[in-house]
A and B are shown apart, each in its own frame.
Chain A
Amino acid sequence: MAEASPIQHRTRRGVLVWTLLAVAVTTAIAFDALRDRPRLPPPETEAPVEMPPTDRAFVLPSDPPDLPLGPHREEFAVSCTICHSTRLVANQPHFPQKKWAEIVHKMVAVYGAPLAPDDESRIVEYLMTMRGRPE
């Protein structure tokens, strides 16, 4: 068998480099698409949607968000998911501490969230980790 010429070597190396480059760029684009924008509904959603029967209860799907690690995560996870999903909270903008304190207090004073006395400030601390910003 004839030895591969230096030109062939270079071509192969070229192909390899370009393939790697293409893979990396595609990955980067896919990654960017995933990170940057709300995930678009997949195209199959255009397919006809079946109406479920109205006399049999259905289960509501849910996609709870990751809760970042931080002090008092447990208190939040226990107390703030009784009446609504964590998504409602995770979807809120970044608020300063004063605003979060107001919101948590509203849950207690207006809706009767059953929090232990110290839990209000603990949960506010966690909310600052989760969706906080300076004043």
Chain B
Amino acid sequence: MDQPDDRPDFRIRLTRRQWLRWGTVAGIAGIASKGCSRRIEEAPAEVEPYLRFPGKVAMRVISDRAPCLETPWRYYREDLTPNEAFFVRWHLQAIPTAVDLRTWRLRVGGHVNKPLELSLDDLKKMKATSIVAVNQCSGNSRSYFEPRVPGGQWGHGAMGNARWTGVPLCDLLKRADLKAKAKQVTFDGLDEGPLPSVPDFIKALDVPHALQPEVLVAYEMNGKPLPMLNGFPVRLVVPGYFATYWVKALTTINVLDLDHPFDGFWMQKAYLLPDKANESPHALSKNVAPIGRMVVRSFLVRPEADERLPLGKPVALDGIAFDGGEGIKQVQFSADGGSSWSDAKLGDDLGKFSFRRWRAEWTPPQRGSYALQVRAVNGAGQTQPTEPIWNRGGYAQNVVETVRVHVV
């Protein structure tokens, strides 16, 4: 249990307090700067511990229980995010930590003529498809919203790109033989609320979307079984859509008919976006709809914020761009806070749902601080806003990001 006065944790805190005490001593000795001693008196900032979860590198903990873990930034230097560093986001406290594959079954039922019950081996005997796709949490970058909003306080690390392998959902639905009035398909996993009053995490797709060939029931991620924390043994992969639809540890696919549209909490009350892109805390939009496709984003991966760069030497810039499935057509960067832009070179094309690597070279002309910015344009001509969007849920941020570096 996660009690506040848990013993081992207390010991760790003591060591930190010793640090504090030494810091105070240094401060009194007049050696530490004023800023330093001021910080001692302040209440601790948002605490950000890194923990190693089973099968994971040390990751920033947004929440221990249900586990929400953020990918360390350096892993975005790779086009495919390694499984052990892939971000983790569960909603409900009771998550699977073991699965007995002898009894585990994927069930497809509801408004179908031939309900299915498939073991993992049965799934693996079906025709497999692979697709590279970005999985990004709707609330990625929420901690940068201003005014701040409640929810998991993610930095930019609630995203990852992987090669997903599995059975196309449409093949399963065809095999189950949808009845004529099939309208929506719901997806439920092994996770459960700690109390019966907590609504089960179930997501829905409309039938036409569920039949798109890119939607998979995936049992592999980057050529390996899914890590338990990323949804072992199978998860739904909905390329182009925010991760909230990518139900983990999927066990139940249920087809609903026209007369029974899905009214589950996680579709009707959570993960809603205002119909207009912007709303403000004082003027909340009245019309909201379930979040869907991702918007265009791009990031500078290297150099990182506050890096010191040498004067007069070319600096290699690189980063990633992605969108909701149109594919990235152009990436530009600016070293003067957005006054002038130049084209970056695009890297390997791993498919329109994937991260697209971009690279550029920049020679800083003089010493000082620079605001490096990057923006992308997708196949439909959509790009990123220069001012951040705000919504109460802290969803779908895609402002042009700025990274400060210092040329010395």
Contacts and interface: CB of A to CB of B under 8 A. Distances in A.
Interface of A: 21, 24-25, 27-28, 30-32, 34-36, 38-42, 45-46, 49-68, 73, 77, 81-88, 90-93, 95, 99, 103, 110-112, 114
B362 interface: no
B387 interface: no
24 contacts: A25-B31, A31-B19, A31-B20, A31-B32, A38-B48, A50-B55, A52-B55, A52-B228, A57-B97, A58-B54, A58-B97, A62-B65, A63-B51, A67-B4, A77-B4, A82-B195, A84-B93, A85-B64, A87-B49, A87-B61, A87-B63, A92-B46, A92-B150, A112-B195
A60 B100 CA distance: 18
Contacts of A53: 98
Given A24-B29, A49-B57, A83-B194, A55 B2 contact: no
Nearest to B148: A93
B63 A85 contact: yes
A82 B47 CA distance: 21
B286 to A, nearest CB: 18
B64 A54 contact: no
A85 B232 CA distance: 23
Nearest to B8: A63
Contacts, number: 193
Interface residues of B, number: 77
B1 A99 contact: no
Contacts of A36: 39
B31 A91 contact: no
B46 A93 contact: yes
A85 B68 CA distance: 11
Closest 9 CB pairs of A and B: A112-B197, A41-B58, A31-B23, A38-B48, A62-B64, A93-B148, A88-B63, A49-B84, A85-B64
B53 A60 contact: yes
Nearest to B224: A51
Interface of B: 1-4, 6, 9, 12-13, 16, 19-20, 22-23, 25-27, 29, 31-33, 36, 39-40, 43-44, 46-68, 72, 83-84, 93, 97-101, 143, 148, 150, 152-153, 193-199, 224-225, 227-228, 232-233, 265, 269
Contacts of A93: 46, 143, 148, 153
A47 B63 CA distance: 24
B198 A111 contact: yes
- The B interface is mostly helix, strand or loop, or mixed, namely loop
Contact of A86 (B2, B66, B194): B2
Contacts of B43: 68
Contacts of A41: 50, 57-59, 72
B31 A81 contact: no
Contacts of A88: 62-63, 68, 152
A66 B33 CA distance: 27
A103 B150 contact: yes
A51 B19 CA distance: 34
Contacts of A46: 57
Contact of A27 (B23, B46, B47, B150): B23
- The A interface is mostly helix, strand or loop, or mixed, namely loop
Contacts of B9: 63-64
B47 A90 contact: yes
A24 B24 CA distance: 11
Contacts of A57: 97-98
Contacts of A110: 265, 269
Nearest to A31: B23
B99 A55 contact: yes
Contacts of B31: 21, 24-25, 28
B198 A83 contact: yes
B50 A39 contact: yes
A94 to B, nearest CB: 8
Given A65-B47, A83-B93, 12 more contacts: A28-B31, A31-B26, A38-B50, A41-B57, A52-B228, A54-B99, A54-B228, A54-B233, A55-B99, A58-B97, A64-B6, A77-B4
Nearest to B31: A24
A91 B62 CA distance: 7
A110 B350 CA distance: 42
A44 B222 CA distance: 23
A42 B50 CA distance: 9
B98 A61 contact: no
Given A62-B64, A93-B46, A54 B98 contact: yes
A23 to B, nearest CB: 9
A38 to B, nearest CB: 4
Nearest to A89: B63
